[in-house]
Structure 1
Amino acid sequence: MIKVTAIETGKARMKTAQRAGREGRGPLGRKIDIFRDPEWVEPLPILAFLIEHPEGRFLVDTGDTWRNSVPGYLPGWNPFYRQVSIRVAPEEEIGPRLRDMGIDPARDIAAVVLTHFHHDHTGGLDHFPHTRIIGPRENHAVSTGLRGMMMGCLPQRWPVWLDPELVVPDGAPIGPFPGSYPLTRDGRIAMVPTPGHVRGHCAVVVRDDDVTYFLAGDATYSQDNLRADRTDGVTNDPATALATLRAIKAFAANQPTIILPAHDPDGPARLAGKVVFS
């Protein structure tokens, strides 16, 4: 028996042009659209997902941190951070959330799995100093240094002890995904490549007896966007992002699948009701 739980770690707001890029716009045009867009979407959840499996507890992504509110935490020289608004109270961070569930984040998690290294997925890493941290090698390569800082990552804020286990999803194909990286010996939890939002992005597939959970990270911001083939405004590769959306839908067409993006306000209700993609 496998259990998946959605854990909200505060709220994020973004421009409408970030949630869905304009069709026909390339990478630069999409960024310009975000800066010009006066409209903001409603506050969206910043979700992490706890997987309870016979081999242990696995956490997918760590949400964000209250330190976003501290002047100077976000680099003022990068205008990207003025196009998003992160609101996290200290007790909303992933560590307190897990402790509220009776779980010690420093000791009771078998592994933290990062779909990618953007700041709203790595902001809670400080709570896991003794835990195996797994992330996609290709994404990590574009998330460090000045390049990473320009692209929504905060490598200068990562814990000094962080030495992630960087993996490549080059194992057996899973459905339309050309490779995978198994996270459990039984293969029921695995990373699959879902590039597009950023290079090297991975999602996590969790296969239970009666249903499959697809923890999409930011491969799509919502199930509605997925259904409509709407890629986001962040992508530097709209064609690859669209191919990923279609691969996710093809996967879900072949087995009962609950789609769980990291910022979909409807995701936790779908999870609770076991509502599959159709």
Structure 2
Amino acid sequence: MIRVTAIETGKARMKTAQRIGREDRGPLGRKIDIFRDREWVEPLPILCFLVEHPEGRFLVDTGDTWRNSVPGYLPSWNPFFKQVSIRVAPEEEVGPRLAALGLDPARDLAAVVLTHFHHDHTGGLDHFPHTRVIGPRENYAVSTGIKGMMMGCLPQRWPVWLKPELVDMDGLAVGPFPASHALTTDGRVLLVPTPGHVAGHCSVVVLDDDITWFLAGDATYSQENLRVGATDGVTNDPETARATLARIREFAHTRPTVILPAHDPDGPRRLAAREVFS
């Protein structure tokens, strides 16, 4: 028996040009559009997902932290951080959320799995000092140092003890995905490459007996964006992002699949209703 639970860690607001980028715009044009945009979307959830599997509990992403509210936490020299608004109360962080489920976040997880290293997916890492942290090697390579700071990561805010277990897509193809990386010995929880939002981004596939859960991270901001093939304004590689969306759609059409992005307000409802993509 496998169970997936959505955990919300506060809200994020973004510009409309970030949620959906103009398809006739390249990477630089999309960034300019975000800075020029005066319209904000409604507050969106910052979701992570708890996967309970016979081999243990796996947390996919860690959400964000209340420390966004502390002056100086977000570097003022990077104008990107003025284009998003993160609101997290201390009790909304992933640690208290897990505790409310009766779990000790420092002891009761087999692993934390990161789809990528953007700040709103790594902000809760402090709660897991004794837990394996697994992440895609390719994304980690573009998330550290000055380059990472420019790309929406906060490596300077990661826990000092963080030494993630970096993995490659070294496993078999899964449907349209050319490779994978198994997280459990039975192969029912695995990473697949979904680049585009950022280089090296991965999604987590959970294969249950009668349904598949596709934990998409930021490969798409919503199921509707996925359906129409709308890429975001963040991507530096729109062509790759479009190809990823096509692969996810193809995968979801081959088996009953619930699509669960990290910022889709309708995701938790679909999860509870077991509503599959069609």
Classify the TM-score, shorter chain: over 0.9
Aligned to 2:215: 215
The SS at the match of 1:80 is: helix
Query: Aligned with 1:38: secondary structure?
Result: coil
Alpha-carbon distance, 1:170 to partner = 2.0
SS in 1 for 2:220: coil
State the Cα deviation string for residues 105-148 of structure 1 (Å, max 9, x = none): 00000000000000000000000000000000000000000000
Cα distance per residue 1:46-84 (max 9 Å; x no partner): 000000000000000000000000000000000000000
Q: Which runs of 4+ in 1 moved over 6 A?
A: none
Measured in 1, the distance between the counterparts of 2:235 and 2:116 equals 13
Aligned to 1:187: 187
Cross-structure match for 1:77: 77
Alignment of 1:1-278 (within 5 A): 1-278=1-278
Q: Work out the percentage of aligned pairs sharing the same amino acid.
A: 80
Deviations 1:133-164 (A, max 9, x none): 00000000000000000000000000000000
Counterpart amino acid of residue 65 in structure 1: T
The alpha carbon displacement at 1:264 in A equals 0.2
Task: Write the distance in 2 (CA, Å) between the matches of 1:72 and 1:162.
Answer: 22
Q: CA deviation at 1:26?
A: 0.1
Question: SS of the counterpart of 2:32?
Answer: helix
Instruction: Provide TM-score, normalisation by structure 1.
Output: 1.00
Q: Distance in 2 between matches of 1:169 and 1:60?
A: 17
Letter in 1 for 2:233: G
Query: Aligned partner of 1:146: which letter?
Result: I
**How many angstroms apart in 1 are the aligned matches of 2:164 and 2:226?**
30
**Cα distance in 1, alignment partners of residues 227 and 36 from structure 2:** 26
The aligned amino acid for 1:169 is M
Please state how far the C-alpha of 1:169 moved relative to its aligned partner: 1.0
Which runs of 5 or more structure 2 residues have no equivalent in the other structure?
A: none
Structure 1 residue 272: deviation in Å? 0.2
Q: Secondary structure at the residue paired with 1:198? A: coil
Report deviation, 1:24. Answer: 1.0
CA RMSD of superposed structures (Å): 0.3
Structure-2-length-normalised TM-score? 1.00
Where do 5+ consecutive residues of structure 1 fail to align?
none
The CA deviation at 1:23 is: 1.3
Q: Deviations over 1:202-260 (max 9, x none)?
A: 00000000100000000000000000000000000000000000000000000000000
